Structure 1
Amino acid sequence: MTGPLLLGVRHHGPGSARAVRAALDAYAPKVLLVEGPPEADGVVALAGDEEMRPPVALLAHVVDEPGKAAFWPLAEFSPEWVAIRWALERGVPVRFFDLPAAHSLVLGEEGEGEGGEAAEGEPGGDAELRLDPLAVLAETAGYDDPERWWEDVVEHRGAGGPDTDPYAPFAALGEAMAALREVHGHGGHRRDLVREAHMRLRLREARKEFAEHGEQAVAVVCGAWHVPALSESSTAAADRALLKGLPKAKVEVTWVPWTHRRLSRRSGYGAGIASPGWYGHLFAAPDRPLTRWMTRVAGLLRDEDHTVSPAHVIEAVRMAETLAAVRGRPLAGLAETVDAIRAVLCEGSDVPLALIQDRLVVGDEMGEVPGSAPAVPLQRDLARQQKSLRLKAEARERELELDLRKEMDSSRSRLLHRLRLLAVEWGDPARSRTAGTGTFRESWLLRWEPELSVRTAEAGVWGTTVLSAATAKAETEAAGATTLAEVTALAERCLLAELPDALPRVMRALADRAALDADVGHLAQALPPLVRSVRYGDVRGTDTVALAEVAAGLAERVCVGLPPACAGLDADGAAQMRGHLDTAHQAIGLLAQTRAENPESASPESASPERGESAEGGGADALLSRWRGVLRRLAARDRTAGVVRGRCTRLLLDDGQLAEGEAARLMGLALSPGTAPAEAAAWIEGFLAGGGMLLVHDQRLLSLVDGWLSQVPAESFTDVLPLLRRTFAAYEPGVRRTVGELVRRGPAGEGRAGPVPAAAPDGMPGFGPGLDSGRADAVLPTLRLLLGRRRVMAGSAAGGDEQSANAKGRAG
């Protein structure tokens, strides 16, 4: 074969990769041109480094704006990767000859997409459907699936004997593409005209440079679609005219790890594949790929406790081969393999099949890049910390449990929180499945995605280390925050990330914002993050005195501003205020508890002597007392919305701040005949939103609700029904069923519930006036497991019959 060797391939195709290697062995070129950004010529030698392990990707980004970036992914079975490694092993120069990233990144920014710039309505514009050449060829050959056609004609081709022409498949594919381009032109890919002009210029340069080696000196590996354009006659002047005036930016290029999961998406080359794990297996298997694949599947299923025998594997292989023969295919493809696995190994279930699809067909393979690859200083600092903390970046999602009392785990937590502040979402906080360690436990879900390399490069503008970058970004966000809640959330994140230099500036911004914001809703939303920081800051050894002062000030302002803010609310405003009420109640209770347990967290200046407060915990009691006083005023004030009054009553009841029968008295007033049904239903909604077990254990309240509901006029019942359904639908099914049974039985099991005396009547199962010793004793075995047998026995011995009876009473 004479002239440049044009090897048209499908990106990420194992059959193409094998054919490329055979053609290069036969042709032995003196220089290799590969589709890719020419800026990568300086880092292509790293592909031969022993620490480089695919899948990897070339990453090009604009220097001043790292977010403007593009990837060129390469897997072990990518023809370009095979060609590059072939050339590097033999000392053959490798050059990328696609359109420079300096142009393509800016063109992409301007929204031209892959089709390039086109006037509206012009052929090849955005409105034109872009041609899929494989789909056209597959349809011409009588296939309805392009993937299946490609597998049959390329991926399932054997290696052939010594007399096999290594150039034949490329000649046939090039001829087919030429026919397509003759009919469809650029097929809607208008930017390809510019790209191919640059390819031809680089090809001319290489041929001229290596002219002394004759015509058989240059080999080209590119997408098969471009082969006809590289073969056509075009002058250098015409090609330069197409490239004239293109926008340009300064870019940097490096290698980054890639994943099989990312190869399954349409990115980079625009040639995403649905089964990278399967293609990798086809490329790596030395022989009997179907048998080896079924063995891998069986191993995975066994690891997941599925019963799979060698007989299953043999039968699955036979079924896949039989399906291929029935369907007229040369070899069993992925479709036949999946059908056989579902029928034989999975026994018709798609549940284990989904596991196989995720773990094997796609896979969690992640590449590695040598440390000598170019990187911004922040990326190097992150890599150093990952290594020192033994936190390996992995493509597969894994759970990480941290005990913050340990220095290593505490350092890991700081790193993950700092990265989250920098928008590098490597880890997501999750609910810990391990109980018993209180606030010292953190749980994370970790998964490294290739895009995080771009995020890290973007974050490099804030600093050269993770600590300095997170500090600088926190200070900038504090200065630009527009709401109080944003600043309080930022303060919490600074504590979690342990940013001592940023915290003072954040606290100043917080104080300024709190002084200017008079909205009670904003204050209530801002309070929980501060209180959590005060409560849990000591776990990390952080000084939270300043935060405690600000939190106490916000709590005081909530107490003062809440009563007037609750007046004159419509239904939507009342529902929103109820949410603020719950938020403030939880936060103030937690703050008071924290100040009582840690008096040093409250400075002497924050106490008020004229109110009898002190830094030794009196301030905490006074704060809680003032808050409960606010709840009492709101619960008794008629002009307050019903949902707010009901919620205040319930909060007081749950805290044990209502005298016996007081909750029933307030409910009786709210449900009196003089109250509008809609207002009464709103009161019930606010009161019962805390859980339905209250109605199960307090029959007086249940009787009041039932009696009111039975007396609602028919014309008003339709209006209050949605509120009641929303309230009771939130209860557990068992609670709803128990409440329904109590109402059906009535006070003595004789019908509907009427007025019920203070003492529960006899005859109601489980609610008798006396102690049911049998039911109480049934709890003791579980109690011994929870507390330990020795503690229960010791308590019985120390307290005698009275203590035992009390324990039984509580259990009952």
Structure 2
Amino acid sequence: MTGVEAAGGRWPGAGPLLLGVRHHGPGSARAVRAALEAARPRAVLVEGPPEADALIPLAADEGMRPPVALLAHAVDDPGRSAFWPLAEFSPEWVALRWALEHGVPARFIDLPAAHMLARGDERDERQPDGHCAEEGAAQRPSGGHPSGSRPPGAEVSADPLAALAEAAGYDDPERWWEDVVEHRGAGEGDVFAPFLALEEAMGALRETYEGEGRGHDRDLVREASMRLRLRAARREFGDAVAVVCGAWHVPALRRKATVTADRALLKGLPKVRTDMTWVPWTHRRLSRASGYGAGIESPGWYAHLFGAPDRPVERWLTRVAGLLREEDLTVSSAHVIEAVRLAGTLAALRGRPLPGLSETTDAVRAVMCDGSDVPLALVHDRLVVGDVLGEVPQAAPAVPLQRDLARLQRRLRLTPEARERQLELDLRKETDAGRSRLLHRLWLLGVGWGEPAVPRSGTGTFRETWRLCWEPELAVRVAEAGVWGTTVLAAATAKAEADAVAARTLAEVTALAERCLLAGLPDALPVVMRVLADRAALATDVGHLAQALPALVRSLRYGDVRGTDTGALAGVAAGLAERIFVGLPPACAALDADAAEEMRRHVEAVHGAVALLGDTPAAVPEGLRARWHGVLRVLSGRDTVPGLLRGRAVRLLLDEGEIEQEQAARLMGLALSPGTPPADAAAWIEGFVGGGGGMLLVHDERLLGLVDAWLTGVPGEAFTGVLPLLRRTFSAYEPGVRRTLGELVRRGPGQGGGATGGTAAGVPGFAADLDQERADAVVPVVRLLLGLDAPGPGPAPDPGTGERNDTGERNDNDAELVGAAG
């Protein structure tokens, strides 16, 4: 009689109870629970890192909500890490919970994480972010390599269940597994039968393909470690031991091997110091598409199968209907009933015992989505995959930085969520200002919980918008950032100081100064400013100076709302601006098209920065904006400067009111004269009217007439060359602006008023002079809208002659008022 039989079970095999499972499978989880209930083992061994044995009791904590993951990271290199995710429907999680509920010892028996991280076992599962997946290739129920790209043995090792599904005539291993395991009821037949059959099938596969797959050596080492720990458990508890592991490993654990041979495989393995803890996980990270290799495409669907007490299809389709209703789609109870019938019919036609995900999806598409895949994509994202985020108790081990972050999250009422959401902040409020500082500090530390976004409305400097989404790997980022300090503030300060010293360009330092102000790091700012002053004194490239100035000037604007002392920035910003003024005209000479376009962006950035700098109540020298206008005049009149820059300089001066429209028209006429090469003239036009300059041509027909006259005079052989420039310029206008320009060109810009008249006689709404009578009629309404007259008793305005003042005299400024308001 075996140990398990002595415990009251019916396990027919000899030795310990080996339960080969499919990781993250609800059918496997139900089968494991039934087998444990029947066998009642004295100890439960689970595939996983032995260093986590001390963390097993936390699985029973009320604050633990799967999905969660065991996180192991090297103490000296937190970026070297590995995850072992567990969902509510994971067989390993069910085994751990069963052991804790029944007071049975539970232990992990895989290769220690200290060896895995030191050996670099993540090399085959390396993800884009540099962290390794939690499972070896031999454990995954689906591989990440295209068919035919690996030898047959490697494919079977990576996906043994796919080989079994193919042998059974299935083209999809998910469907095969659902039919033979997932859709089995908990009480159907012998609870041990599926495990015996799966063990036999895995044994046949290993006999055929063992040794051919990549990662075979790694499997041998891991399985040797498992056998050693299994022997130790059998010495303590006898054969009344249950082992829950990947089905691929069961034949290896059943195989007879000497202790000496197993120890020889483990001898000399490298080792690093590791820390382990529980971290929250998400359903989305369990999906194969996430890149973490957990191997299931539908974690939300599996969670539903595991949690539904009865009628899983009906309950699922009811959830789908609720989701579609939330999106204002018309779905009634009749749709649900018809979808249930269709799913059952499809399952019968396909020879399946029950409708699976493919049948319910086809039913939803046909009945609830009218054949459209657009709402079906929403169902897949929200329900089939899902955004469930697990929770771990506060008692779980954590690095000091993680604990400080959790404290700040609670204090600021900023709860991590797996689903992306937008957070609007008003920095005038203390809580929102604290949230902003926290998110900026984490951003500086490389913990991308929040990402700055464009505000939905409002342009005030007191508004901020963030896109928040908590991803499980951020726990690793927090562990990595722990080398900088034990609190978020201390870590962000140390990181900013180190980044300032390591920065390669002046723009990087100014951007870092801006981040320090946003994050509220007063202790780091002196170091950053010292580096900034040194770099600015040595920088000679005008382009680099122009890149650095805008960020520096923006930083000066934060003093009002954030209460930050920005006086030290003003002198550096003013000195930087002066150096740009001196070096910009020579730097703009003799540039090719690409260099001219890049310099145009620099000129526009400096223009905006100077405007902000001039409005900043700081120690900024007087006349700074006037000197900048002088630089623009030099650029607008220098022949060696490309037409793109000359045109943009004229436009900026016109917008600032530094030149009159007549002068702008004269400069345009010179630029578009017959002696100017067509390509240079087209570039001048692009610089002048590009980027929202369409309304200028609509309201000033003199300029439009100059452009039209030049365009009609371009020779045919040159027109093909300038056409791309012109199309790029005018295609950026709004459709209404393009339509208006077309109408003006069709009737002839400047008709009736000449090239300088700007209007066309006989066109409704246009005249050579102001219609005084019509203007006087709207004066009372305009004055009321502008708040110039308070309602009260007095003489009524005369619509024909204009409003009267208290003495009955005509207000001669009314006509000018109407013109200004118009």
**TM-score for both structures, normalised by structure 2:** 0.89
Asked if the contact 2:221/2:265 (under 8 Å) is kept, the reply is yes
CA–CA separation in structure 1 for the residues paired with 2:173 and 2:774: 69
The offset of 1:711, in angstroms, is 1.4
Equivalent position amino acid for 2:215 in 1: H
Q: Does 1:760 align with 2:759?
A: yes
Q: How does 1:651-730 map to 2 (within 5 A)?
A: 651-691=652-692, 692-730=694-732
Q: Secondary structure at the match of 1:739?
A: helix
Contact (CA 8 Å) 1:748, 1:764: kept in 2 or not? no
Displacement of 1:432: 1.7
Tell me, yes or no, if structure 1 residue 145 matches structure 2 residue 172.
Answer: yes
Q: Which amino acid aligns with 1:15?
A: G
Distance 1:503 1:100 in 2: 44
Q: Distance in 2 between matches of 1:721 and 1:583?
A: 28
Shifted more, 724-733 versus 760-769: the winner is: 760-769
State the partner residue of 1:467.
489
Alpha-carbon shift at residue 805 of structure 1 (Å) = 4.7
Q: Distance in 1 between matches of 2:627 and 2:223?
A: 76
2:615 to 593, 610, 617: 593
Alignment deviations for residues 696-754 of structure 1 (CA, whole Å, 9 cap, x no partner): 1111111111111111122222222222122122222222222222112214879xxx9
Match for residue 253 of structure 1 among 227, 251, 276 = 276
Go from structure 1 to structure 2 and tell me whether the alpha carbon gap of 1:793 and 1:321 turns closer, same or farther (over 3 Å shift).
Answer: farther
8 A contact 2:775–2:815 mirrored in 1: no
Residue aligned with 1:529, SS:
helix
Q: Aligned to 1:566, which of 588, 591, 607?
A: 588
In the TM superposition, what is the alpha-carbon distance from 1:389 to its structure 2 partner? 0.8
Q: What SS does the corresponding residue of 2:104 show, helix, strand or coil?
A: coil
Q: Is 1:58–1:254's contact at 8 Å kept on the other side of the alignment?
A: yes
Structure 1 Cα separation of the partners of residues 23 and 306 of structure 2: 14
Residue from 9, 14, 38 that aligns with 2:26: 14
Helix, strand or coil at the partner of 1:196: helix
> What does residue 188 of structure 1 align with?
214
1:345-365 C-alpha deviation (Å, 9 max, x unpaired): 222232322222121111111
1:69 is aligned with what amino acid? S
Corresponding residue to 2:47 among 4, 20, 35: 35
Q: Does 1:323 align with 2:338?
A: no
Q: What SS does the aligned partner of 1:221 have?
A: strand
1:517-528 alignment to 2 at 5 Å? 517-528=539-550
Alpha-carbon distance in 2 for matches of 1:530, 1:80: 54
1:225 and 2:248 matched: yes
Q: Secondary structure at the match of 2:19?
A: strand
Distance 1:359 1:515, change over 3 A: same
Which deviations, in whole Å up to 9, do the C-alpha atoms of 1:605-658 show, x marking residues without a partner? x64xxxxxxxxxxx1xx0010000110111011121111111101111111111
Q: Distance in 2 between matches of 1:573 and 1:774?
A: 54
Q: 1:388 and 1:665, CA in 2 relative to 1: closer, same or farther beyond 3 A?
A: same
Contact kept in structure 2, 1:54 and 1:367, CA below 8 Å:
yes
* Equivalent in 446, 450, 463 of residue 423 of structure 1: 446
In structure 2, the partner of 1:3 is 15
CA contact (8 A) 1:285 1:292 kept: yes
- Partner AA of 2:593 in structure 1: A
Among 584, 608, 622, the residue aligned to 2:606: 584
Distance in 2 separating the partners of 1:768 and 1:75: 76
Return the letter of the residue paired with 1:739: L
SS in 1 for 2:82: strand
After superposition, give the CA deviation of every residue in 1:321-355 in whole Å (9 maximum; x if it has no partner): 11111111110111111111122222223232222
Q: 1:789 to 1:312 in 2, by over 3 A?
A: farther
Give the conservation status (yes or no) of the 8 Å contact 1:56–1:73. Answer: yes
DSSP-derived class of the 1:58 partner: strand
For residues 70-89 of structure 1, what are the structure 2 equivalents within 5 Å? 70-89=82-101
Q: Equivalents in 1 of 2:202, 2:773: separation in Å? A: 86
Aligned to 2:79: 67
- Residue of structure 2 aligned with 1:809, choices 795, 798, 819: 819
What does residue 644 of structure 1 align with? 645
Match of 2:130 in 1: none
Amino acid at match of 2:381: D
Q: Structure 1 stretch 105-114 or stretch 200-209: which is displaced more?
A: 105-114
Q: Which amino acid aligns with 1:696?
A: V
- Contact 1:776/1:811 (<8 A) preserved: no
Partner amino acid, structure 2, of 1:741: E
Q: Give secondary structure in 2 for the equivalent of 1:273.
A: coil
After superposition, the C-alpha distances for 1:528-573 in whole angstroms (9 at most, x for unaligned) are: 1111111233210011111111111111111111111112222222
For 1:399, the equivalent position in structure 2 comes to 422
CA distance in 2 between partners of 1:286 and 1:782 (Å): 70
Partner SS for 2:755: coil
CA deviations 1:157-178 (Å, max 9, x no partner) are 11235xx211001111111111
Q: Is the 8 A contact 1:696 1:738 kept in 2?
A: yes
What per-residue deviation string (whole Å, max 9, x for no partner) do you get for residues 21-44 of structure 1? 000011111111101111111111
Q: How many Å separate the matches in 2 of 1:554 and 1:627?
A: 13
1:356/1:581 CA distance change after superposition, 3 Å: same
Aligned to 2:131: none
Gap change, CA 1:197 and 1:383, over 3 Å in 2: same
Q: Distance in 1 between matches of 2:222 and 2:605?
A: 58
User: For this pair of structures, how many residues does the alignment match?
Assistant: 772
- Which segments of 5 or more consecutive residues in structure 1 lack a partner in the other structure? 117-123, 608-618
- Structure 2 counterpart SS, 1:72: strand
Matched AA of 1:165: D
Moved more, 438-447 or 378-387: 438-447
Give 2:377's aligned residue: 354
In structure 2, the CA distance between the partners of 1:782 and 1:694, relative to structure 1 (3 Å rule), is farther
Compute the displacement of 1:810 (Å).
Answer: 4.3
Native 8 Å contact 1:60 1:101 kept in 2: yes
Q: Secondary structure at the match of 1:461?
A: helix
Distance 1:483 1:257 in 2: 38
In the other structure, the counterpart of 1:334 is 357
Q: State how far apart, in whole Å, the 2-side matches of 1:782 and 1:530 are.
A: 45
Alpha-carbon deviations, 1:754-776, whole Å to 9, x = none? 96233422134554334579999
**Corresponding residue for 1:612?**
none
Contact 2:750–2:758 (Cα < 8 Å) also in 1? no
When residues 58 and 755 of structure 1 are mapped into structure 2, their CA distance, relative to the original with a 3 A threshold, is same
User: Does the Cα contact within 8 Å between 2:691 and 2:729 map onto a contact in 1?
Assistant: no
Out of 735, 738, 743, which is 1:736 matched to?
Answer: 738
Report 1:256-655 matches (<5 A): 256-265=279-288, 270-435=293-458, 438-594=460-616, 598=617, 601-602=618-619, 607=621, 619=622, 622-655=623-656
C-alpha contact 2:286 2:293 (8 A) present in aligned 1? no
Distance in 1 (alpha carbons) for counterparts of 2:816 and 2:636? 34
Is structure 2 residue 160 aligned with structure 1 residue 133? Answer: yes
| Distance (Å, rounded) in 2 between the aligned partners of 1:128 and 1:811 | 81
Report the more deviating stretch, 775-784 or 473-482.
775-784
- For 2:70, give the aligned amino acid: L
Cα distance in 2, alignment partners of residues 486 and 775 from structure 1: 58
Q: Secondary structure at the match of 2:123?
A: coil
2:605 partner amino acid: T
**Contact 2:700-2:758 at 8 Å conserved across structures:** no
1:774–1:178: structure 2 CA closer, same or farther, 3 Å change rule?
A: farther
Moved more, 650-659 or 724-733: 724-733
- Would you say 1:242 and 2:265 are equivalent positions? yes
- More off after superposition, 726-735 vs 514-523: 726-735
The AA in structure 1 aligned to 2:210 is: G
AA in 2 matched with 1:639: T
Equivalent AA in structure 2 for residue 157 of structure 1: R
Name which of structure 1's ranges 537-546 and 710-719 shifts more when overlaid on structure 2: 710-719
How far apart, CA to CA, are the structure 1 residues paired with 2:32 and 2:411?
41
Give me the TM-score of the superposition, normalised by structure 1. 0.90
Offset of 1:269 from its aligned partner? 8.3
Whichever residue aligns with residue 743 of structure 1, its letter is: V
State how far apart, in whole Å, the 2-side matches of 1:589 and 1:267 are: 46
* Distance in 1, Cα, partners of 2:123 & 2:300: 33
For the aligned residue pairs, the C-alpha RMSD in angstroms reads 2.7
Identity %: 70
- Residue in structure 1 matched with residue 191 of structure 2 by the alignment: 166
Task: Find the aligned partners of 1:269 and 1:469 in 2 and give their Cα distance.
Answer: 29
